[in-house]
Structures are given as C-alpha cells and as structure tokens.
Amino acid sequence: MTRFKIIEIAGRRRRQRSDLVTTEFPLTVEVNSRQVANLACTPRDLKDLVVGLLYTSGFINGLEDLLSLRIARNRRKASAEIRPPLAPLESSPKKIRRGSGFRVEPQTIFRLIKRFQKTSAEFLKTGGIHSAALCSRDKILIFREDLGRHNALDKVIGAALVEKREAADGFILVSGRVPADVLLKIARARVSLLASLSAPTDRAVQMARREGITLIGFARENRFNIYSAVDRVK
C-alpha cells in the first residue's frame, strides 16, 4: 500500500488528509520464452498467481508439467518452462459429477462469509482489492487478494497446487462478480461450489448448470441466491 496526500470533499466541507492506496505491480508472464500475459496485480504471492494462471489457462495440468519458474521482481517478469506443447484453455471442461458427495449447510456459508469479509485488512483500508478463499466445511484454508478478481482466484488455485491441497475437496468464496471465464477457472480446478458476494452473469449461470457446479450469488449476511445444482446445499 502507498500513502498519498489527498483532498476530501464531504458536503460543503473540504479538507486535506492522507489516504492509503493499493499498490499496482505490472507483471509480464512468459512461457517457454513466449509472452502469454501482461498482468496488473499486487506484488504479493506472485508464485501462486503464475502457477494458478498457468493451470487455469490450460498450460499445465499439474506441478509436474512445470519444469521451472523464475520471478524477477526488478524486471517485473515471470519466466516459466513447461512440458511442450503449450495447451490452450479448454472451452468445455470435463463435467463435474452431480453425484459428488460434497455438501454444505447454509449456516456454514454464512459463518465463513463473515470471516472472509473481515480477513482482508487491505480492503478495509483501501477498498481497492478483491479477495478469494478456498474453504473446507468449517474453516478458510487459503486466502488471497489482488487488484483483479481473476488474479485473486488464480492465486488461491495456484496456492492449492503448491501446497498440494485438493481444491475439489472444498468450495471457493470470491468477492467480485462471476462472469463465464471465472466459472471456467472453477471448472478447470474441479471445484463443485462457488459462492460470491456479488452477482453472476447469464453465461456463468448457464455454464454452471451445464457443468453441474453449484453457483451462489449475493452471499451477504444471512441470505444468498442459488443459481444451479441446489442439492449441494443441505
């Protein structure tokens, strides 16, 4: 975070004060010496971010496909070597079985959402950051944050790979909107339930129904909407 002197206008009042602003870090990602992404991110958890991006974008199917990863902060560049050939993102991921034994109670989601909203100290100070978390039935296992909601999700999925956690055994909470490309990342990680504090798009709902993913939106305080695969919520 960076502190700036600003002018605050409130009604008819005008005053000078200091304000904390989220740090933006540009990062170029190269795979086998080919540039594949230019990211605007926070300068934390960069390994998780790159590993998650490579996985959810279809370049690798697991850490065994990642031969090396070098992150040069001074050059703002991440260089990965992977097993060839480069793989495109699957537009139609393997369907998650509706018979999955994963179930969660509404009270569990309510409790973890309240904890989730209080976890990001930076959001409370700047309001300029998105969060994502991998949760079990009783606690938050991995929490990450970033400028972009896609980056925050990639960080969580990447951290799960690095820590050898099975993301499919839990569910994911996110702070931002859920478009179809976010649902595609969830499907790629074999996660069966996604809950967001915000709204999904129509394409995200259609994809969730097609892939058998439980999609929850407007998860706030003691209410939420279930858009698909309702049977996973007891």
Does 24 score more than 50 pLDDT? yes
Check if the beta carbon of residue 93 is closer than 8 Å to that of residue 117: no
> Average pLDDT over the chain, rounded to whole?
90
pLDDT single digits (tens) 164-183: 998 888 999 999 999 999 99
Phi then psi for 39, rounded to 5 degrees? -110, 145
Residue range 76-127, pLDDT digits in tens: 999 999 987 665 555 545 555 444 667 899 999 999 999 998 887 777 777 7
| 8 Å CB contact between 233 and 223 | no
Q: What is the mean pLDDT of residues 70-77?
A: 96
Work out the percent of the chain whose per-residue pLDDT is above 90. Answer: 74
- Given a cut of 60, whether residue 57 has pLDDT beyond it is yes
Which pLDDT does position 96 carry in this prediction?
Answer: 52
In sequence order, the β-bridge partners of residue 27 are 39
Across the range 129-138, mean pLDDT stands at 92
Query: What is each CA distance from 196 to 31, 65, 142, 159, 208, in whole angstroms?
Result: 31, 31, 16, 20, 13
pTM of the model: 0.90
Give the position of tokens 């003691």: 222
**What does the pLDDT read at residue 99?**
47
Q: What pLDDT, on the 0 to 100 scale, is given for residue 138?
A: 87
Q: What DSSP line would sit under the chain, residue for residue? A: -EEEEEEEEETTEEEEEEEEEPPPEEEEEEETTEEEEEEEE-SSSHHHHHHHHHHHTTS-SSGGGEEEEEEETTTTEEEEEESSSP-PPPSSPPPPPTT----B-HHHHHHHHHHHHHH-HHHHHHS--EEEEEE-SSSEEEEEEESSHHHHHHHHHHHHHHTT--GGGSEEEESS-B-HHHHHHHHHTT--EEEESSPBPHHHHHHHHHHT-EEEEEEETTEEEE-S-GGGB-
Mean pLDDT on 153-160: 97
All domains in the chain, ordered by first residue: 106-232 (3.40.140.10)
